[in-house]
Chain A
Amino acid sequence: MAMLGGLASLCATRDAGSHTSALSGSSQAIERADAEFKRALMAVREAEAAGADRERIAVLVSRLNFVLGGIDEAEHLLLQGNITDADSIAQQAIDDSKGIALEAIELYDEASLETYYEKIFTFGMAPVASLLVTVGAHYGWKFWRRYEVDRVMRMEIKKVKEPEEEE
């Protein structure tokens, strides 16, 4: 996981000639791997923003970290002068990043559609719930009114005795 900061300056002090060109070729592969990694990262972030499932995002994040590990390893190997392995690991990181980006785009489409339907359903439920409330309120009002009318109709007149009458 650790990466040396002075990679560029160390690369510059290597021997001239074919070794230098091979080194720069490998360095370019690492740069490409880094660019592909960033593209994959952006795709994953977009999928997450579209509302993709957290567990599926976690799987993609773990694969992104694997790619990061690969890029670090390629950089270490490049520093040690192992150009062939560095190049091959960088290439693997590029392929992995492309795979992650593709899956993230699929996940984005899926999540966008799901989120869209969820929004339609949620907002569609508003008039349905309002209708239920209206019907409930209407019949509730009618029932209460009938009850009140019946109560009034059943009322009886009772004579209240005055205190003088009681004596």
Chain B
Amino acid sequence: MRRLSEDMKRAAVIFISATIIFSALAYVAVTPRPKEQFFQIYVLGETRMAERYYPDDNPNIPVGRLVQWYLGTTNFMGSVQYLVIKVKLGNSTIKAPDDINYIPSPAPVLLEFRKVLMDNETWEFPFAWIIGEISEEGDMTYATVLVIDVKNGVEVQAGRVSALNGHNFRIIFELWTFDPVTEELMFGWRAGGEQRTVWLQVWFNATKPQTS
């Protein structure tokens, strides 16, 4: 077999090296880069900022007084996601969602907001509610919270929860997502082999309407 000339040897080395480099570049170009997958959830006050969560900045909410918030969530999961925001009404003794064991709060669900979101899409919507009525039994005050569907002007009947002297009620917002593995909704989401949860809560006190 004829021996390769110096030029051919050099060309072969260059060709093989360049092929390895360009193939690596091609692999990087066609492989999507892994990024952190998460959701963002927030509640804003009536000014659509992180302030004025209560009328007149007073957490003692009288019966019939409208409270206006804005709920928002952003999908940073890198794919289309179906999510549900569950709104729950609780007091100070009811368990909050458990971030360690991924257990949602056992508080009664007032209502759910559902939406399919694209990657990097933010969904923000108004959330208005009033305390429909309160009743007292001993030290316990029972409050019925009504959520107002701003778009349709409809009052949505909601849960009734008690609290000592009407203090420390809370509205809990939990983010649930569709799990493609089980094809069911799950509290939080799965990313990189582990489950994560996110939730918010806003405290308030229920007071009787002021009489003149």
Interface presence of B63 (CB below 8 A): no
- Interface residues of B, count at CB 8 A: 37
Chain B binder among A22-30, A133-141, A155-163? A133-141
Known A61-B116, A68-B116, A134-B11; judge A5-B86 contact (CB<8 A): yes
Q: Are A5 and B80 in contact (CB under 8 A)?
A: no
Interchain CA distance A44-B81 in the complex, whole Å = 10
Interface presence of A149 (CB below 8 A): no
User: In the assembled complex, which residues on chain A have CB atoms less than 8 Å from the CB atom of B22?
Assistant: 125-127, 129-130
Which residues from 123 to 168 on chain B have a C-beta closer than 8 Å to any C-beta of chain A?
A: 125, 147, 149, 151, 156-157
Interchain CA distance A127-B74 in the complex, whole Å = 43
0/1 string, A38-74, CB within 8 A of B gives 1: 1001101100110000100110010011001000100
Counting residue pairs across A and B whose Cβ atoms lie within 8 Å, the total is 97
Q: How far is the CB of A45 from chain B (nearest CB, A)?
A: 5
Q: How far is the CB of B53 from chain A (nearest CB, A)?
A: 20
Known A45-B80, A133-B14; judge A2-B156 contact (CB<8 A): yes
Of chain A, the residue at the smallest CB distance from B31 is: A119
User: In the assembled complex, which residues on chain A have CB atoms less than 8 Å from the CB atom of B147?
Assistant: 2
Interchain CA distance A132-B112 in the complex, whole Å = 60
Instruction: Say which residue of A5, A45, A58, A138 sits within 8 Å of B109 (CB atoms).
Output: A5
Interface presence of A131 (CB below 8 A): yes
Interface presence of A152 (CB below 8 A): no
Q: How far is the CB of B120 from chain A (nearest CB, A)?
A: 10
Interchain CA distance A54-B119 in the complex, whole Å = 10
Interface presence of A12 (CB below 8 A): no
Interface presence of B70 (CB below 8 A): no
Q: How far is the CB of B174 from chain A (nearest CB, A)?
A: 12
Interface presence of A113 (CB below 8 A): no
- Interface residues of A, count at CB 8 A: 36
Interchain CA distance A122-B7 in the complex, whole Å = 29
Q: Are A122 and B10 in contact (CB under 8 A)?
A: no
Known A42-B180, A123-B23; judge A118-B30 contact (CB<8 A): yes
Instruction: Say which residue of A5, A54, A65, A141 sits within 8 Å of B108 (CB atoms).
Output: A5
Q: Are B80 and A122 in contact (CB under 8 A)?
A: no
User: In the assembled complex, which residues on chain A have CB atoms less than 8 Å from the CB atom of B117?
Assistant: 61
Q: How far is the CB of B206 from chain A (nearest CB, A)?
A: 20
Interchain CA distance A127-B19 in the complex, whole Å = 5
Interchain CA distance A147-B7 in the complex, whole Å = 17
Q: Are B29 and A133 in contact (CB under 8 A)?
A: no
23 contacts between A and B (CB under 8 A): A1-B125, A3-B114, A5-B86, A5-B109, A5-B111, A38-B183, A42-B180, A57-B80, A68-B115, A68-B116, A122-B29, A122-B30, A123-B23, A126-B22, A126-B23, A127-B22, A129-B22, A133-B14, A133-B18, A134-B14, A137-B10, A137-B11, A138-B11
> Which B residues have a C-beta under 8 Å from some C-beta of A?
7, 10-11, 14-15, 18-19, 22-23, 25-26, 29-30, 79-80, 82, 86, 108-118, 125, 147, 149, 151, 156-157, 178, 180, 183
Given contacts A38-B183, A45-B80, A58-B118, 18 further A-B contacts (CB under 8 A): A1-B151, A2-B149, A4-B156, A5-B110, A6-B109, A44-B80, A57-B80, A68-B115, A118-B30, A122-B26, A122-B30, A126-B25, A126-B26, A127-B19, A130-B18, A133-B14, A134-B11, A138-B10
